[in-house]
């Protein structure tokens, strides 16, 4: 698994955990819905600024999103 895919899975998991649609996440983070889809599918890698926006919209710390992705990478090696 590539890091972008791991981050995407972690993002989707966290988004679903708080019952948020891609549209709502995009609106709250100031991003486009299609970009959220690309992130969740591992087609794009987020910048640090984007990770901060996503974390704020999901009401969590950026480090939690990164740690979730890291755990997925470790589990799939």
CATH number, position 35: 1.10.260.40
| pLDDT on residue 77 | 79
| pLDDT on residue 76 | 87
Domain limits for position 42: 3-75
- By C-alpha distance, which of 31, 67, 73, 64 is closest to 49? 31
Query: For each of the chain's 77 residues, which pLDDT tens digit applies?
Result: 899 999 999 999 999 999 999 999 999 999 999 999 999 999 999 999 999 999 999 999 999 999 999 999 999 87
| Number of structural domains in the chain | 1
Q: Tokens standing for 15?
A: 């988004």
| pLDDT on residue 20 | 97
Return d(Cα 39, Cα 53) in angstroms, integer. 13
pTM: 0.93
């Amino acid at each position: 698994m590539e890091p972008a895919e791991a981050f995407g899975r972690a993002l989707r998991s966290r988004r679903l955990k708080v019952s948020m649609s891609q549209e709502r996440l995009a609106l709250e983070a100031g991003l486009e819905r299609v970009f959220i889809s690309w992130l969740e599918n591992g087609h794009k890698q987020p910048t640090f600024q984007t990770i901060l926006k996503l974390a704020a919209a999901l009401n969590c710390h950026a480090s939690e999103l990164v740690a979730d992705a890291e755990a997925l990478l470790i589990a799939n090696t």
